[in-house]
Amino acid sequence: MLKKVDASQLKLGMYIHDLSCDWMTHPFVRNRFMLSSPDEIRKIVDAGIRTVVIDSARGHDVEDAPTLAEAQAATEREIVDLAVQAPIPARVSLGEELQRAVKIRHQASTLVRSVMRDARLGKAIELDQVQPVVQNITESILRNPGALIGLLRIKNKDDYTFLHSVSVCTLLVAFCRSRNLPADMTHQAGLGGLLHDTGKALVPDDILNKPGALSDEEFAIVKKHPEDGYRILKQSPEIGPIPLDITLHHHERCDGSGYPGSQASGQISELAQMAAIVDVYDAITSDRCYRKGLPAAAALRKIYEWSKFHFNPQYAQEFMRCVGIYPVGTMVLLESGRLGVVVESHETNLLAPKVNVFFHTKKNVYIKPETVDLSRGLGFGGGDKIVGQESPDKWNVDPMRFLTVAA
């Protein structure tokens, strides 16, 4: 039986089923293993991991611990209570903005490649080239936030490093907008998001793209990237304090378990805490050479669980409301058996977005695409509900094809 236990309850002979943490930072080669030494327990605690999932059928039990299903149900109830919030209103249609978003995505990823190349060569970052790209991203978010955010959910594994920076910039700008932060602060946060991983330019490619967990020595090299990025950006005299702060501190955690400074919540700035959430969300939803990305809804539930220790709970909840439980571009399975792609969040209920349906799984046939408003009743364009998120790979479908429906 799978159970969720506190790290303080761990003892030798327990079988770890899931470390319940960001896999990019945990210190183990594998996610499932038998605890066979005190050093393994120490590593879990030192990594800031507070809860883990054990398999009591394969190792020692904690009798009074909740089952994984019970823990997940409790989290689900809490999330449903949070899923009422007005999203950023769209000024233009999704279809219209998608055309611009494709160009902005290409422009931004090309720029990040150039920035990384200059950083490797020891050149200062030319901010006059970066500023317009951040402005274009911001304007796209203002017109229709779902277009660029949805488009950036699709990443080629080989382009991850570059598109991750574009995604963090885009999500951070949208996050700032949803919290009504000043325009100049939002722009500076966008700069920080686009440049936050500049220090990874100095990490060898064989480590950066290693198809498996890193050794302690390799992880130590990767953990230098916030300080390396800070040092590189400092070479540009026009750089402001916000991008520098985000670059240096986006891996800090509120319980002091992050790096490079092991800072606690009171020491980490508001924007750096927001950037930390965005950075992890995009990382765990992206396919990598060593791990399949989580569905967006599952990732948001992880963010919510981790906010009890690693993130500011208020910011985590506000981020969930910003992107929606089912973000634009998410492929979902409806109770009727139809597959659809989320195209718009509801004004107040994040669990009932508008969905473009295109395939019937029970009949195994494509159907004429139509938009279903899940907040409406049967006979009024609705009468259905989401039962789960689906992988486009499973159905060999490009969800971007169905983001718009012909009139």
Residue 392 has pLDDT above 70, yes or no: yes
Question: Is there a contact between 401 and 392 (Cβ–Cβ < 8 Å)?
Answer: no
Tokens 């903005």, residue located: 97
Stronger pLDDT, 49 or 246, i.e. the higher one:
246
pLDDT tens column, 153-192: 877 666 788 999 999 999 999 999 999 999 999 999 999 9
Average pLDDT, the chain: 87
Provide CB contacts within 8 A for 2, sequence distance 6+: 17, 53, 54, 55, 56, 67, 68, 69
Residue 254 has pLDDT above 90, yes or no: yes
Where do the structural domains in the chain lie, given as residue ranges?
2-66, 94-323, 331-402
Query: Looking at residue 225, what is its pLDDT?
Result: 96
Query: Looking at residue 405, what is its pLDDT?
Result: 67
Confidence band for 296, pLDDT divided at 50, 70 and 90: confident
Mean pLDDT of 122-147: 93
Confidence band for 332, pLDDT divided at 50, 70 and 90: very high
Confidence band for 72, pLDDT divided at 50, 70 and 90: confident
Of the listed ranges 142-151, 271-280, 347-356, the least confidently predicted one is: 347-356
DSSP assignments along 326-380, one per residue: S-TT-EEEETTSEEEEEEE--SSBTTS-EEEEEEETTTTEEEEEEEEETTSPTTT
pLDDT tens column, 237-252: 999 999 999 999 999 9
Mean pLDDT of 188-210: 94
Residue 224 has pLDDT above 90, yes or no: yes
> Token pair for residue 230?
């800070």
Mean pLDDT of 346-359: 84
φ, ψ for residue 348, nearest 5 deg: -130, -25
Question: Is there a contact between 402 and 369 (Cβ–Cβ < 8 Å)?
Answer: yes
Query: Looking at residue 378, what is its pLDDT?
Result: 63
353 C-beta neighbours (distance < 10 Å), count: 27
The CATH topology of domain 94-323 is Hypothetical protein af1432 (1.10.3210)
Question: Is there a contact between 151 and 329 (Cβ–Cβ < 8 Å)?
Answer: yes
What does the alpha-carbon distance between residue 228 and residue 234 come to, in Å, rounded to a whole number?
Answer: 10
Mean pLDDT of 198-210: 91
Residue 43 has pLDDT above 90, yes or no: no
Of 121, 264, 146, 321, give the one whose Cα is nearest residue 202: 121
Confidence band for 88, pLDDT divided at 50, 70 and 90: low
Residue 145 has pLDDT above 70, yes or no: yes
What does the alpha-carbon distance between residue 237 and residue 116 come to, in Å, rounded to a whole number?
Answer: 18
Question: Is there a contact between 219 and 210 (Cβ–Cβ < 8 Å)?
Answer: no
Confidence band for 263, pLDDT divided at 50, 70 and 90: very high
Residue type, 198: T
Stronger pLDDT, 365 or 83, i.e. the higher one:
365
Contacts from 186-189 at CB under 8 Å and sequence distance 24+? 186/138, 187/134, 187/135, 187/138, 188/240, 188/242, 188/243, 189/242, 189/246, 189/271, 189/274, 189/275
Query: Looking at residue 166, what is its pLDDT?
Result: 96
Run of H or E including 6: strand 2-6
What does the alpha-carbon distance between residue 130 and residue 112 come to, in Å, rounded to a whole number?
Answer: 9
Tokens 């966008």, residue located: 190
Q: Percent of the chain beyond pLDDT 70?
A: 91
Residue 22 has pLDDT above 70, yes or no: no
Stronger pLDDT, 324 or 239, i.e. the higher one:
239
248 sits in the region (left: phi over 0; alpha: psi -120 to 50; else beta) called alpha
Confidence band for 407, pLDDT divided at 50, 70 and 90: very low
